[in-house]
Amino acid sequence: MSSERRIDLAWLMLVLLSVGGAGIGSTDGNAVLVAVGVSVVMAIKLRLVCSYFLELHEAHPRIRRAVMTFCHGMPVLVILTTAFGDTLSRLTGALIG
Amino acid sequence: MWVGIFCEITEFALLFAVFFVARAHHPEAFRAGPDQLSLLAGTGYTLMLLTSGWCVARALHAMRRSDRTACLRWMLAGFVFGLGYPAIKIFELQRNFALGLDGDAGVFIVSYYYLTFTHLVHVFWGLLGMLWVIARTGFGAYTAEEHSGLEAFACYWHVTDMIWLMIFPLFYLLG
């Protein structure tokens, strides 16, 4: 498969995930489960952009690691701050009064 | 190039940290927040930016095989789709203000404006950069061997796209 064809397929996947992901968000379910669903879709989309659009595999390993940490960190933080919002509120309460 | 991109990432990482803390302190406001916004507009931004990013990626590949005409066409298409973002923003802001969703509408809406306006500024820089790269491509400044300017712009635009892919679910989906 040509590199152009792979980019086209990645874009198609991204469009489908964006529309499908919007459907996940509009469901009335357990907040943590919705956060997990939304985060998984977010992680897949970020991975597709990094791999096929940004071509991160060609970047310096340190740059690649830093960007991937940011991309993987966000979905994880979404889940953790949804599941443990009370704890985060207590921990940061002293900072913001 | 990467120094600039990491500045952008750091800026948004800080704003995301503020978002998570605000959400932890005001869970009810953030739970009800997405219902106030237009999911159609949010999805529209996402599709415009993703399609614009796709065009820019195709433009880069066209340049790598020395097809300057195709590169220019893909870049122009990328610019048109990129303009879709501020165009939708105008309609969404009109809708929001008509519904009273201004700077006094609570912590969720204030966080929303902070993050999305900051992102909009980055999109504007990207659109200006895209015009510059289109002009350079038109004047034959890039070749298959040397097109680092085009590559640098493409990286910036894809990272701006990535940031939106993070912002979108935070405000439009996580109820």
Reported ipTM: the value is: 0.91
Residues of A in contact with B51 (CB under 8 A): 11, 15
Look at residue B101 and give its three-state secondary structure.
Answer: coil
Give me the mean pLDDT over the B145-149 stretch: 93
Q: Is residue B74 classed as helix, strand or coil in its secondary structure?
A: helix
- Write down the pLDDT at residue A25: 66
Closest chain A C-alpha to B47 CA, distance in angstroms:
6
Q: How far apart are CA B159 and CA B89, in angstroms?
A: 20
Cβ of residue B33 closer than 8 Å to a chain A Cβ: no
**B33 pLDDT band (50/70/90 cuts)?**
confident
* pLDDT reported for residue A32: 87
Given pLDDT bands bounded at 50, 70 and 90, which one contains residue A97? Answer: low
Instruction: Indicate yes or no: CB of A38 within 8 angstroms of CB of B174.
Output: yes
Q: Give domain limits for chain B.
A: 37-172
* pLDDT per residue as tens digits for the range A23-55: 776 677 788 888 999 999 999 999 999 999 999
pLDDT above 70 as % of chain B: 99
Please state, rounded to an integer, the average pLDDT across all residues of chain B. 94
Q: Which amino acid is at B112?
A: Y
Residue for token pair 């950069």: B129
What is the length of chain B? 175
Q: What is the pLDDT of residues B103-146, one digit of tens each?
A: 888 999 999 999 999 999 999 999 999 999 999 999 999 999 99
Domain B37-172 in CATH: superfamily?
A: Cytochrome c oxidase, subunit III, four-helix bundle (1.20.120.80)
Choose between A92 and B59: higher pLDDT: B59
Q: What is the pLDDT of residues B65-111, one digit of tens each?
A: 999 999 999 999 999 999 999 999 999 999 999 999 988 889 999 99
Measured between alpha carbons, how far is residue A75 from residues A16, A38, A46, A70 in Å? 19, 8, 10, 9
Task: Report DSSP state, residue A51.
Answer: I
- Looking at beta carbons, which residues of chain B come within 8 Å of A18? 43, 46-47, 50, 168
